[in-house]
Structure 1
């Protein structure tokens, strides 16, 4: 059984308002994407990495991988028109390469602070249940807008019933491959902001929660980028348990 990371870096990053895709922005002389790949490179349970990348940037990524010693990178696949198409491209490329019981860990290339503990727990939960989605409790109060008066509310959702989910997410390859064929053939769970986790639920699958981390931020805006830089510079206090 192998553990294969499927890193999604096919977006153009318009919201960052920069001249190059945000996954290739340099932070302290290293592209954001390389920080992400290093997290998987260093994890002892990750056997191989597949990257879904904007078409035309493949040679650049191979060069960066050599420079930063990302030896586990085995395949680079062109991205699609949407996030779901990009993931599908990566999954279909693994046909004939991955076994049905192999664990595929899907992760956003612009989440460069993936924690080793989070990766480990995703793998453990997926081995036990067949899938795993990174999750955290929701710590804010959630109120529902009044349909008759959008400036008011009379209903809330108990936060104990909610979870925030993100990547990494892990799935056994056989089920994942089936799901993407099924979803794209029938048009289920592939539109708008859909992701693998929402698609699986739309297909009737039960998902299992794994550990998450507040540090696992997604770099979408310039403020996110500044937060990432602050995390990199921060020193941990020794007295914190």
Structure 2
């Protein structure tokens, strides 16, 4: 069983749109629906669990029905933090699925992850036990403890930007969460699932992500996402045009 856990429990205050950013409509469709459709249409994904703000559960369920997202098994209330929201969804998945199921943890506002990246995440879990989606950094990264002075500059070829999904066997990621939650500090400084498993001495294995797999957090990200959608639509239209020309006995452009 391959399960997508899509967490979208944030309030989206940085977006300034008046609604949580995951429900902001882009090209006539909420961002979270763009995201969910990627997993809905992937033939290796069997189920989807969604974690959202409790007040938005009825609306999320309406969207599930409207867009015929029939792989969605349940909509779960989120928690105080992103990791709490993920944990809630993981526990729900645990109650309904085998412990050796593969879970792909994905941010609801990353609506452009490629089909191949999802497939490669599943294969990496099967072969290595987990998958952390990353892309090589193009810009130089600087380390600063106070935000004013440069403490160190790592080699660019050794730096990568973490994306999503991050994927695991269900039993393994729940065990790591349980261990962290049993400590006094719980999720303090635990920015993602990779941080959580590494805190338990588990080796994390990287999968290369796609450059368009942005996290829509700011108004600038909305413009980027719109441009990516337009590019994809133009690319598909161009491919269809070539197919039609060949079908009509004409040479490609």
TM-score by length of 1: 0.91
Instruction: List gaps (5 residues or longer) in structure 1.
Output: none
Q: Structure 1 residue 143: deviation in Å? A: 3.8
- Secondary structure, counterpart of 1:157 in structure 2: coil
Q: Structure 1 residue 191: deviation in Å? A: 1.7
1:78-93 alignment runs, 5 A limit: 78-93=77-92
Match of 2:207 among 202, 205, 210: 210
CA gap of 1:145–1:49, structure 2 versus 1, over 3 A, is: closer
Q: Structure 1 residue 45: deviation in Å? A: 0.1
Q: Deviations over 1:26-52 (max 9, x none)?
A: 112211110000000000000000000
Query: In the alignment, what sits opposite 1:102?
Result: 101
1:174-185 alignment runs, 5 A limit: 174-185=171-182
1:48 equivalent to 2:35? Answer no
Q: Is the contact made by 2:141 and 2:159 (CA closer than 8 Å) also made in structure 1?
A: no
CA gap of 1:24–1:155, structure 2 versus 1, over 3 A, is: closer
What root-mean-square deviation, in Å, do the aligned CA atoms of Structure 1 and Structure 2 show?
A: 2.0
Q: Is the contact made by 2:47 and 2:73 (CA closer than 8 Å) also made in structure 1?
A: yes
Query: In the alignment, what sits opposite 1:165?
Result: 162
- Secondary structure, counterpart of 1:77 in structure 2: strand
Q: Is the contact made by 1:22 and 1:110 (CA closer than 8 Å) also made in structure 2?
A: yes
Query: In the alignment, what sits opposite 1:124?
Result: 123
Q: Alignment length, in residue pairs?
A: 235
Q: Structure 1 residue 96: deviation in Å? A: 2.5
The runs of 4+ residues in structure 1 deviating greater than 6 Å are none
Q: Is the contact made by 1:189 and 1:202 (CA closer than 8 Å) also made in structure 2?
A: no
TM-score by length of 2: 0.87
Q: Which has the higher strand share?
A: 1
Q: Which has the higher helix share?
A: 2
Instruction: List gaps (5 residues or longer) in structure 2.
Output: 240-253
Q: Structure 1 residue 189: deviation in Å? A: 6.1
Query: In the alignment, what sits opposite 2:191?
Result: 194
How far, CA to CA, are the matches of 1:82 and 1:59 in structure 2? 21
Q: Structure 1 residue 144: deviation in Å? A: 4.3
CA gap of 1:189–1:135, structure 2 versus 1, over 3 A, is: farther
How far, CA to CA, are the matches of 1:218 and 1:232 in structure 2? 14
Q: Deviations over 1:60-104 (max 9, x none)?
A: 111111111111001111001111111111111122212121100
Q: Structure 1 residue 154: deviation in Å? A: 8.2
- Secondary structure, counterpart of 2:222 in structure 1: helix
Q: Structure 1 residue 203: deviation in Å? A: 1.5
- Secondary structure, counterpart of 2:100 in structure 1: coil
Q: Is the contact made by 1:189 and 1:198 (CA closer than 8 Å) also made in structure 2?
A: no
